[in-house]
Chain A
Amino acid sequence: MKHSKHLYFGLSRRHFIKGAAAGAAIVGAPAVLKGLTRRSKAAEKGVIRMLFTAPTMIPGDWTTFEKDTGLKMEDTVIKDDPGIFLTEVQVNDAGERFDLISTLSGTEQSLIDGGNIMQMEASAMSNWSGMPASIQSMPYLVRDLSPDAGKVWGVPMAMNADSFGYLPAKLDEPRPPEEASWSLVFESEKTMGRSSTGDNYIYLWEALAYLKNTGQLAVKDILNPSPEEAKATADFLIKRKEAGQFRLFWKIFDDQIAVMKNGEVDAIRCWEPAVNEVNKAGGDWVYATATEFYTKWMHAAYITSQVEDRGNLDEVYIALNWFLSGGYAATITPLRGYLNGRPDLAVDYANSNGMDDISATMDAAQEKMALKFAKEDFWFSAVPENLQEMQAQMDRVLNA
């Protein structure tokens, strides 16, 4: 039997191979070129390259930033898992490609130990000194770090006190500022089969804080739960999962919005912007004033060590100062409900730049933050001492 040298549609094997090779070259060329040029691109004048671990830190677009600073911002967002972030920075040399890196506070000591970030000069940022002392001395940024405890290693970008979203009318629960209990997420009959939380160690930690604050578990140090405490919390979550409490364990921000919009859940541990997004589409969700605790967090920005040799430190400080400015405050708070380090500058900035009146929004956000940050529990760290054990226990919950 004679073999044909042609495949279907008259395409010869030789042409097919040639075409495939050419196609691969065309498709692969940008990636190769990008790889070859990425080192030099990081030092391009007038451009700040920044690595984020949360899309919600980006103020919609960078128009205001570019107008205020005269710099261009190029952002890249990766997932906020600490392992992924630290691998990107410490193994993949993110500092070669980025001037600034930003993530949840708590990773500072690892970054300092790895020589990945530079100590900062607070005096190089004009907006630093006006920051309330309580923010300047927040855990992780400047305190208890070695060496040189008390020196500045990071700039606060945005912070919030996280709780959960729920449907007050459907569940017959009060609206904020009246308090609602985390039991709506973890063990309420009203939300049986229609509640949700996330799929990683943060959400096990919150269940632990719930157990502590409802007297169901003695916790020695909420900032660093022990493996035994993590296991007891996992046992609790497994029982609730087996009872049918949880509809799903979401993974990303978009999941939160999707299940709220689709009516899959009535109470969900989520980010505050998710509630805003769903309500824009006609939802009646509220973000809880929680009875028991809040997950207090801060995203901070750090200068990569490589900036020193690149010679663009002045521009980097201009960018950092902007994150402490009225420009960032006036965009991020109305958009996300978060506060930056200088919310006091927002109203003046908005007024002098022809923006909508945001004084009511800023007042409400600051009042809300003062109320929520007054709760004792708990300041979240991205890298607690028993991080791996906590995630392993959460995996046990997901596997149950």
Chain B
Amino acid sequence: MTAAAYTSNRSSGLRDFIPRLPAGVWSLSGFSLLWFGGIVLPLLAIIVVSFLQGRGLKINFDPTILQYKRFFSYGGGEMLARSVRIAGTVTMIELLLAFPFALWLAKGCKNNTVRLLTFTALTVPFFLSPAARVIVWRSVFGINGVVNQILLGVGIVDEPVLWLIFSEFSVHFGFIGAFFPTMVWPIFLSVSLIDNDFLEASGDLGASRLRTLLHIILPLALPGIVAGFVFTFIPMLGDAVVASHMGGNNVLMLAAQVQSLIGVSNFLVAAALAAVVLAIMLAFQVLLWLALKPVGGLAGVFASLRR
């Protein structure tokens, strides 16, 4: 008996039943299984629970749409529309602010010290608690805050401006500061990966700076823009800190609504809310797919990274 045959004959028991597949396939299957068990199953469970009846921790299995009716009758529709509107608006503002900043950081800034300091400035806020990051704005925009003191001192207003805090304005402002780094980082990385030769070639061929920006930089930076959009918009929808601290609960948003439902053990309506949010996310996926179709879909966008 050869050594190979001996080794082969030693294989027995459970191993005989496991298909002999390449390691990559096993990894893929493992991740798929984890993803299904850790992400898909809980989401399916939430959807199922949203169609049940019960109170607190006691649930009975009679299908109903009562929880959806309740959610919308208590102003849930307005809250969702408000959350999406605010998160969408701020994400667009972030994009307009972050793109030129990231472009400068990646291609314009030649001084490594300045770049390092900028990196630090973008990272430091993440070491603070989310509340600490926004609470400081209260003393700036409050009734006796710095801005009101200046406005009153200069004589622009006779009385303190109240809408600077505990309003939609202050919620927008709080989000802009808190989520700026999440938009900058992905765009910075994708712009950094653009080969300088492309930019120089574009200039050598007579393209203006604007034309180079629109036809070279922007398409190649698209993966970062898409990633920045995802990393900014979605966490913002789930943020409970800014709307509460800056909006004073005058501007109820998604996360605060979930907390409120959980706080009184209203898990079924919370599940209905989660299911509605899931539907909105799916709708956004479709919109994103349609929007990116002209450039070859999501695969086309990320193709630039394979250069």
Residues on A lying within 8 angstroms of B by beta carbon are 1, 79, 81-84, 86-87, 90-91, 110, 193, 199-201, 246-251, 258, 262-264, 387-388, 390-396, 398-400
Contacts and interface: CB of A to CB of B under 8 A. Distances in A.
Interface stretch (B8-16, B31-39, B95-103, B249-257): B249-257
Interface string B239-262: 000001000111010001101111
B45 interface: no
B74 A387 contact: no
Given A1-B195, A81-B264, A86-B265, A264 B143 contact: yes
Contact of A83 (B79, B249, B265): B265
A86 B56 CA distance: 9
Contacts of B263: 79, 81-84, 200, 391
A399 B142 contact: no
B147 to A, nearest CB: 13
Contact of A193 (B74, B162, B307): B162
Given A247-B166, A399-B74, 13 more contacts: A82-B264, A91-B57, A200-B260, A251-B249, A258-B135, A262-B142, A262-B143, A262-B144, A264-B165, A391-B261, A395-B75, A398-B260, A399-B76
A251 B138 CA distance: 15
B262 A83 contact: yes
Contacts of A110: 56
B83 to A, nearest CB: 11
B55 interface: yes
A299 B166 CA distance: 32
Given A90-B57, A247-B166, A396-B74, A391 B266 contact: yes
Given A83-B266, A247-B166, A249-B249, A391 B260 contact: yes
B248 A249 contact: yes
Interface of B: 55-57, 70, 74-76, 78-79, 135, 138-139, 142-145, 162, 165-166, 195, 244, 248-250, 252, 256-257, 259-266, 269, 307
A394 B259 CA distance: 13
A43 to B, nearest CB: 27
Nearest to B142: A262
B173 to A, nearest CB: 16
12 contacts: A81-B263, A83-B56, A83-B264, A86-B265, A87-B265, A110-B56, A200-B263, A246-B250, A251-B244, A258-B135, A262-B144, A398-B249
The 4 closest A-B pairs by CB, nearest first: A248-B248, A81-B263, A399-B75, A83-B265
Nearest to A9: B116
A81 B269 CA distance: 17
A339 B78 CA distance: 43
Given A90-B57, A91-B57, A247 B264 contact: no
Contacts of B261: 391
A263 to B, nearest CB: 5
B248 A391 contact: no
Contacts of A86: 56-57, 265
Contact of A263 (B57, B76, B144, B249): B144
Contacts of B265: 82-83, 86-87, 387-388
B75 A388 contact: no
B248 A262 contact: no
Contacts of A390: 264
A263 B160 CA distance: 11
Nearest to B70: A392
A258 B143 CA distance: 12
A393 B165 CA distance: 25
A396 B73 CA distance: 9
Contacts of B56: 83, 86, 110
A248 B144 contact: no
Contacts of B74: 392-393, 395-396, 399
A258 B138 contact: yes
